[in-house]
Each structure stands twice: as structure tokens, then as C-alpha cells.
């Protein structure tokens, strides 16, 4: 994305965003195919969308694979943990509903919300800050609670996209070519705002300096 396009030609700027969203969607699909790499691909997706929103720089393919390589090991580990936790939450909810155990349903619903809130933040945090896996997961949950209104907005965005796909075949068709990039871009608009509190004050950041150490977890 080229920031100068926003002043020279807003229509071209918008079309560039749309094209980048579609490209990022297919890059995410391609690199998520083994399933186990979904953590690295999602981290790269958020790295690229936040980078473009913050700096207006182009070259989304280059940015995506830069992050994919640099974060592969740790992000893949987080992704595997997220997948396992997601399967566990889904099984627990199914069990509580199928057995009609209301007390367990309440508990598992709360657990599922905690999981959802944490997953929303964990990959953007991995993309933005250098930290341990434990600290990244912990900070993801704490940030989701601290910024609860923004968290609920992102949950609403996710729900709106899912509802649109469920109720409209047209929306479903469109989402098949852009949903990952679109969801990440919309949520990244929120994350850029939230993360500004933890970012250095420099106005411009090079690619090499984009990852910074998160000190919020220090005891």
C-alpha cells in the first residue's frame, strides 16, 4: 500500500487495499494448509496488515513471508496450543449441551469466552512484540480484558462476518476470496490503536525495528 495514493487518488488507494486484502487472504490459506502452521501464517497476516496500516508501505508478499520466517517456530507453537485448546473448548461445549448440564454449560461458556478473547490478541501480539510464549499468551488475555470495549467490537466484527456468510450466499461467495485478509485488516485497525500505548514514540519504524520487546509482563 502506498500512502501517497490516499491523497493523489482515494479510489486507487481503496482498490489497493482491496487487492492487498485478497492477496493476503490467499497467502494465509496457502501457508495454513498443513494446519499446524496456522499460528505462523496468522502472525504473518497481522504483521502485514498492521505494518501497512501504520506505515502505508507496500510489498505485502515480502512483509508476509518476512514475518512468517522470523516468527515461525514460536508462532507455530502458539498455534498448536490454540488449536488444542479450541478442540477442548468445542468438546466441552458439545458435552454440556448434549447432556443438558446447565452448570457445566455456564462454566464452559466462560472458558470459551476466555479462549476467544485470548486468541483474538495472541497472534497480533506475537507479530508486534518479542516475548516468551507464556508471556505472550498471558498478555493476550490481560489486554483483552483491559481493552474490553475494543475486544467486544472485534468479537462483533467476527460475528457479523460469520452471520453474513450464514445468511447470504452472496456474502459467503465474497468471503471465500477475502475473509482472512478482511477480518485481519478490520481488527488491525483496532490493534494499531491499542498497541500505540506500548510502542516507542518514533513516528517511523523500519521493517527491522518493527518487533519490539514487550515489558508489560515484567515482575
Q: What angle do CA 109, 111, 112 make, to 5 degrees?
A: 65
Query: Which stretches does DSSP call E strand in 11-170?
Result: 129-130
Query: Which among 129, 150, 157 is positioned nearest to 217, based on CA atoms?
Result: 129
The reported pTM is 0.87
Please name the helix (run of DSSP H) or strand (run of DSSP E) that holds residue 148, with its range, or none. Answer: helix 148-167
Window from 8-17, 30-39, 175-184 with minimum mean pLDDT: 8-17
Beta bridge partners of 213: 130
Q: Whole-angstrom Cα distance, residue 182 to residue 20? A: 10
**For residue 167, pLDDT beyond 70:** yes
What percent of the chain has a predicted confidence (pLDDT) above 90?
74
Q: What is the pLDDT of residue 103?
A: 86
Scanning the structure block, which residue is given the C-alpha cell 499446524? 36
Q: Which three cell numbers mark 204? A: 517511523
Phi, then psi, of 3 in degrees rounded to 5: -60, -30
Report the mean per-residue pLDDT for the chain. Answer: 89
**Please, are residues 41 and 191 in contact by the beta-carbon 8 Å criterion?**
no
pLDDT tens sequence across 92-104: 999 988 888 888 8
Q: What is the pLDDT of residue 218?
A: 45
Query: Which among 170, 178, 183 is positioned nearest to 18, based on CA atoms?
Result: 178
Q: Which three cell numbers mark 55? A: 506505515
Please name the helix (run of DSSP H) or strand (run of DSSP E) that holds residue 213, with its range, or none. Answer: strand 212-213
* Residue 63 pLDDT level (bands cut at 50, 70, 90): very high
Amino acid at each position: 500500500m502506498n500512502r501517497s495514493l490516499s491523497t493523489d487518488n482515494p479510489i486507487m488507494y481503496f482498490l489497493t487495499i482491496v487487492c492487498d486484502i485478497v492477496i493476503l487472504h490467499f497467502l494465509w490459506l496457502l501457508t495454513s494448509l498443513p494446519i499446524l502452521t496456522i499460528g505462523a501464517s496468522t502472525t504473518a497476516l497481522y504483521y502485514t496488515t498492521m505494518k501497512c496500516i501504520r506505515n502505508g508501505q507496500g510489498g505485502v508478499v515480502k512483509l508476509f513471508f518476512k514475518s512468517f520466517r522470523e516468527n515461525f517456530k514460536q508462532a507455530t507453537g502458539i498455534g498448536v496450543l490454540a488449536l488444542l485448546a479450541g478442540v477442548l473448548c468445542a468438546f466441552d461445549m458439545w458435552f454440556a449441551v448434549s447432556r443438558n448440564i446447565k452448570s457445566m454449560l455456564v462454566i464452559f461458556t466462560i472458558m470459551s469466552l476466555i479462549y476467544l478473547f485470548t486468541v483474538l490478541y495472541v497472534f497480533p501480539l506475537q507479530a508486534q512484540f518479542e516475548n516468551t510464549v507464556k508471556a505472550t499468551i498471558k498478555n493476550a488475555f490481560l489486554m483483552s480484558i483491559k481493552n474490553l470495549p475494543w475486544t467486544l467490537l472485534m468479537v462483533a466484527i467476527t460475528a457479523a462476518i460469520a452471520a453474513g456468510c450464514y445468511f447470504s450466499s452472496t456474502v459467503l461467495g465474497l468471503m471465500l476470496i477475502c475473509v482472512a485478509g478482511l477480518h485481519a485488516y478490520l481488527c488491525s485497525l483496532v490493534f494499531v490503536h491499542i498497541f500505540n500505548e506500548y510502542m516507542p514514540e518514533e513516528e517511523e519504524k523500519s521493517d527491522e525495528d518493527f518487533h519490539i520487546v514487550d515489558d508489560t509482563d515484567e515482575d
